[in-house]
Amino acid sequence: MFHDVRTVFIRSITQVLRNPVWVVVTLVQPLFYLLFYAPLLKRTIGSDRLNGGSAYDIFVPGLLMQLALFGTAFAGFGLVSELREGVIERMLVTPVRRSALLIGRVLANLVALVFQATVITLVSWPMGLNLRPSAILGVLVLLGVGITFASLSYTVSMILGNEDALAGLLNFVTVPILLLSGMLLPLSLGPKWLQRVANINPLKHAVDAARDLFRGNLTTFAVGRGVTVVFVCAAAALIIGTRKFEHYAD
């Protein structure tokens, strides 16, 4: 199993490094938010909500979850071209484990994601983010979100099989997930019905957990709920994705 995952991982990470432009391009969007949106937020959120912290303490964890969403949800595009060239069918008739075909690829996406998240965090630091040791646990949430959306992206790309349909679906799905995550503004500012809808959104719980972790609150209900939700989703997405690899041609 380890051998198979490593083999697929090495190939995938080589592909990422062959085209490192994408790792950088994905970084541009959150950097714009950091530069042109975060300063607005500073004024909007009253200081009473900040409890002595900075607006960046609320915004950056959300931004990292956005990165985890957008950095991995488009992973399936790479798979579509491999499907078209018959690369995946070729691999499926080797003894390689189907789960390794998925996990190796997802791991490569996670490496890129952790690198991007590190860049965003380090850039935010001098801008006013209070970096506490507990923030490192935010990586757990980040990885869970990354595993979930990367696996789902691969699964959907195998079902749809072409870039146009995949792009349409991703635009349709990612925007509400993002808006209902409370990443741009705290959802507590909104009406009750909006909060209820947002509670179905796993990314909302991931954002809540990440915010508490960045503020140094390790043992809150939000952290427990966020980590649980994220890992249940990640496990489910891995199982669904592996099954799709098992039955790809059928």
Partner 1 sequence: MRVIETVGLRKTFQPKGPGAKKKGAAVEPIVAVDGINLHVEGGEIFGLLGPNGAGKSTTIKMLSTLLAPSGGQATVAGFSLATQRGEIRRVIGVVSQSGGLDSEETPMRELVHQGVLFGLDRQAATKRVTELLDHFELGAAANRQIKTLSGGQRRRVDIALGLVHSPKLLFLDEPTTGLDPQSRANLWDEVRRLRSEGTTVLITTHYLDEADALCDRLAIVDHGRIVAEGTADVLKAGVGGDVITLHLPDPSAADGVIRSSGLATHIERFGDDALRLTVGRGDSTVGPLLRLLDDAGIETTSLSTARPTLDDVFLRHTGRSLRDTPA
Interface residues toward partner 1, by CB under 8 A: 3-4, 7, 11, 14-15, 18, 82, 85-87, 89-96, 247, 249-250
Q: Is 16 or 233 the residue whose CB approaches partner 1 more closely?
A: 16
The three-class DSSP label of residue 131 is: coil
Supply the minimum distance, in Å, between the C-beta of residue 249 and partner 1: 5
Supply the minimum distance, in Å, between the C-beta of residue 37 and partner 1: 36
Supply the minimum distance, in Å, between the C-beta of residue 111 and partner 1: 18
* Dihedral sign (CA 46, 59, 226, 168): positive
Q: Is 91 or 123 the residue whose CB approaches partner 1 more closely?
A: 91
Supply the minimum distance, in Å, between the C-beta of residue 163 and partner 1: 16
The three-class DSSP label of residue 222 is: helix
Q: Is 12 or 155 the residue whose CB approaches partner 1 more closely?
A: 12
Supply the minimum distance, in Å, between the C-beta of residue 31 and partner 1: 28
Supply the minimum distance, in Å, between the C-beta of residue 45 and partner 1: 46
Instruction: Give the list of residues 6+ apart from residue 137 with CB closer than 8 angstroms, or none.
Output: 213, 218
Supply the minimum distance, in Å, between the C-beta of residue 87 and partner 1: 5
Q: Is 86 or 126 the residue whose CB approaches partner 1 more closely?
A: 86
Q: Is 13 or 137 the residue whose CB approaches partner 1 more closely?
A: 13
Answer yes or no: are the C-beta atoms of 77 and 156 closer than 8 Å. Answer: no
Three-state helix/strand/coil letters over 180-244: CCCCCCCHHHCCHHHHHHHCCCHHHHHHHHHHHHHCCCCCCHHHHHHHHHHHHHHHHHHHHHHHH
> What b/e string do you get for 212-244 counting C-beta neighbours within 10 Å, with b at 16 or more?
bbbbeeeeeebbeebbebbbebbeebbeebbeb
Q: Is 92 or 131 the residue whose CB approaches partner 1 more closely?
A: 92
Q: Is 15 or 44 the residue whose CB approaches partner 1 more closely?
A: 15
Amino acid at 60: V
Q: What sections of the chain are H helices per DSSP?
A: 2-18, 21-32, 38-44, 47-50, 55-73, 76-84, 87-92, 98-124, 138-160, 163-179, 192-198, 202-214, 221-246
